[in-house]
Amino acid sequence: MPRSRATAKSGTQTIVTKMAAGIGNPENVGNTRLILYAYKANGRRIESTGVELAPGDTVGWFPESGVDVGDADGLGFEVSESDKGTATLEYDSPIC
């Protein structure tokens, strides 16, 4: 399966897909932590979907099974302003 990559620096948000179906095997290959979220069409994150990945961490699927994404319009990640460095998310291309 093809892998995609997205990066973000501290204090920024990156939307990786406009579909809310999910992404497989997201992995933080950067040098600072990131938090994955589902996002609404207005760009606001859905707090209950947050999953933190430290550098080197991965999960099998995002959002995890059973997590209510409600009216999510996309999936992405954020890097806190207090986290210095660059987060790089690698993931299997989105599945609809």
User: pLDDT tens digits, residue range 52-62?
Assistant: 999 999 999 99
Give yes or no for a contact between 84 and 10, defined as CB atoms under 8 angstroms apart.
yes
Q: Is 67's pLDDT higher than 90? A: no
In this predicted model, what pLDDT tens digit does every residue of 74-91 receive, in sequence order? 899 999 888 888 899 999
Q: How many domains does the chain have?
A: 1
Domain assignment of residue 60, given as a range = 3-92
* pLDDT value of residue 94: 57
**pTM for the predicted model, two decimal places:** 0.85
Per-residue buried b or exposed e for 15-47, using 16+ beta carbons within 10 Å of the residue's own CB:
ebbeebebbeebbbebebbbbbbbbbeeeebbe
Which amino acid is residue 48, in one-letter code?
S
Specify the CATH number for the domain of residue 63: 2.60.120
